[in-house]
Amino acid sequence: MAHVAQFTPETTGAVARARQHSIGDLLRRTALRCPDKLGVVAGERRATFAEFDACVNRAAHALAERGLVKGDRLALLSHNSWQYAVLVFATAKLGVVLVPVNFMLGAEEIAFILSHSGASGLVTEDALAPTAEKALASAGLSGGVRGWISLAGTDPAEGWEDVDGWIDGDRDPGEPGVPIADDDPLRLMYTSGTESRPKGVMLPSRSLIAQYVSCIVDGGMAVDDVEVHALPMYHCAQLDCFFSVDVYLGATSIILPGPDPATLLATIERERVTKLFCPPTVWISLLRHPEFDTTDLSSLRKGYYGASPMPVEVLRELQRRLPDVQLWNFYGQTEMSPLATILRPHEQMPKAGTAGRASLNVETRLVDDDDNPVPPGQIGEIVHRSPHAALGYHNDEEKTAAAFRGGWFHSGDLGILSEDGYLSVVDRKKDMIKTGGENVASREVEEAIYLLEGVAEVAVFGISHPRWIEAVTAVVVPKAGVELTVEQVTAHVREHLAGYKRPKYVVFADALPKNPSGKILKRDLRAAHANLAERGV
């Protein structure tokens, strides 16, 4: 049989179209398979999969009419919404790269993402429009697509278009028909690193769909799931471990703007929700809510957590108060689309505190600083080989080469593997702090504090916290003869950092502990200040 490369371009193109399996194709196939099944519920909107697919196609045509073509980038700054869900798949059908933006970022932080990504347009919800305008001005961007999502009921400001007009207009609801290859980037996800600037992770259909299969098989997901999506969809955890997987399967998605505990509980009861993902902080907020025990949660069968380890005592409480709910722990990072390892229901207590074992399409091992494998029981850097892995970092070959050296993706996390292959994450090689499910780079916070006049040295790290799991903590050494107050530091960081990045605790010291080579010993600082939360400081 002739190799495909020996065919004419016309034949090669026809074969490629027949074999296409991109993110947009998943929705079309689900709509053909179960057109009348309830697909998406968001606010007052209740759409079957056929209706959702038609709305996605109309939005895709509207974006194309406004000049967006395959390979262009469209930034999306919004809380979860019906419009958000539509744009995820509308951009995918066009081959337009979606750039989800963390809505907690400030204008300068958003401006960097707009500039670095080369965004050709921006869609924002109305409440975030002032920040979006400042970001556009700071990035020096004018013109291009400007979409307005009216979640607060306000009319579009001058220069902005109502996204509902793209979705519900009288355009042809037919497929856009854009050819999309397996490795064409469809998402550009900005992730906090140890540097002061985030990196843009490029994700194509091949990576995402391979990850969806791992989630489905190892995460026990099924077509009859009814899932509530309350965590931000700018995170690939909610977006790509759960929402997009549900669309692929034909499961029903209930979209909420945020994880308000009372709303979550009421939604589970009203919609007979069977499946829920939350980081430990949100599970804790549900357990502590006064309506937890009086709400009918009998429909709930599957629970998922990730972003940080679940405290063992909370795990025991969950299993006691929700005895019919099976639990899974998902561990990974954006560069893995994001799933890498899973702790399954029967492993929760016997292997409590671990991140489980490599998922279906992933190979995981630990290596030393020279990339040599380390034996079980010894600390090493966690590395993976998998089709889940990203294409690399946008416009950054140096960091891509470093992260993928030797043909393995280097996570930057340190771990220990047991003899039977269970992974325990013991530290973060890059000093990442995970607070309330959000990633915070300690170096970024340190650099912001260093801008304050009178700061000689600062070290930022995370300490255990009953609500946030990890709380951002700063130990500041003032310059000689300078007196600083907690209020001064707090006011300063408020001007430079998003709320979740600001230190929950600020402590002053005469010096920072260091080793003989001058490296700050953050492990010593964590130990010295581990009980700040307990003391209620």
pLDDT, tens digit (0-9, with 9 covering 90-100), for 57-110 = 999 999 999 999 999 999 999 999 999 999 999 999 999 999 999 998 999 999
Q: Last residue of some domain: 180, 204, 228?
A: 180
Domain that includes residue 478, residue range: 432-535
Nearest Cα residue to 422 out of 518, 329, 520, 492? 329
What pLDDT, on a 0 to 100 scale, did the predictor assign at position 195?
Answer: 45
List Cβ<8 Å contacts ≥24 apart for 283-287. 283/310, 283/314, 283/318, 284/314, 284/466, 284/467, 285/259, 285/261, 285/467, 286/261, 287/314, 287/317, 287/318, 287/321
Q: Last residue of some domain: 152, 180, 208?
A: 180
Q: What is the pLDDT of residues 188-230, one digit of tens each?
A: 999 864 445 889 999 999 999 999 999 999 999 999 999 999 9
What pLDDT, on a 0 to 100 scale, did the predictor assign at position 536?
Answer: 57
Strand partners, 508: 476
The answer to whether position 454 is within a domain reads yes
The answer to whether position 512 is within a domain reads yes
Q: Last residue of some domain: 129, 156, 180?
A: 180
- Residue 443's pLDDT band, with cuts at 50, 70 and 90, is confident
Tally helices (H) and strands (E) across the chain. 18, 26
Domain tally for the chain?
Answer: 2
Nearest Cα residue to 33 out of 231, 230, 250, 243? 250
The answer to whether position 111 is within a domain reads yes
127 burial level (CB within 10 Å; 0-12, 13-18, 19+)? middle
Look-up of token digits 């355009």: 171
The answer to whether position 341 is within a domain reads no
What percent of the chain is modeled with pLDDT above 90?
78
The answer to whether position 510 is within a domain reads yes
The answer to whether position 420 is within a domain reads no
* Between 474 and 533, the higher pLDDT residue: 474
User: Structure tokens of 485?
Assistant: 């107050």
* Between 398 and 447, the higher pLDDT residue: 398
CATH number, domain of 467, equals: 3.30.300.30
Q: From residue 505, how far is each of 353, 468, 474, 529 by CA, in Å?
A: 26, 13, 6, 10
Q: What is the pLDDT of residues 142-192, one digit of tens each?
A: 989 999 999 999 999 999 999 999 999 888 899 999 999 999 999 999 986
User: Structure tokens of 499?
Assistant: 């709320």
Greatest Cα pair distance, the chain, in angstroms, is 81
What pLDDT, on a 0 to 100 scale, did the predictor assign at position 3?
Answer: 56
The answer to whether position 387 is within a domain reads no
What pLDDT, on a 0 to 100 scale, did the predictor assign at position 158?
Answer: 96
User: Structure tokens of 126?
Assistant: 């109305």
What pLDDT, on a 0 to 100 scale, did the predictor assign at position 515?
Answer: 58
What percent of the chain is modeled with pLDDT above 70?
95
> SS3 for 271?
helix
- Residue 425's pLDDT band, with cuts at 50, 70 and 90, is confident
What pLDDT, on a 0 to 100 scale, did the predictor assign at position 446?
Answer: 86
What pLDDT, on a 0 to 100 scale, did the predictor assign at position 427?
Answer: 63
CATH number, domain of 4, equals: 3.40.50.980
What pLDDT, on a 0 to 100 scale, did the predictor assign at position 279?
Answer: 87
The answer to whether position 467 is within a domain reads yes
Mean pLDDT value across residues 386-393:
98
What pLDDT, on a 0 to 100 scale, did the predictor assign at position 519?
Answer: 62
- The whole-angstrom separation of Cα 258 and Cα 409 is 32
The answer to whether 520 and 512 have CB atoms below 8 angstroms apart is: yes
> Would the pLDDT of 431 be above 90?
no
pLDDT, averaged across the chain: 93
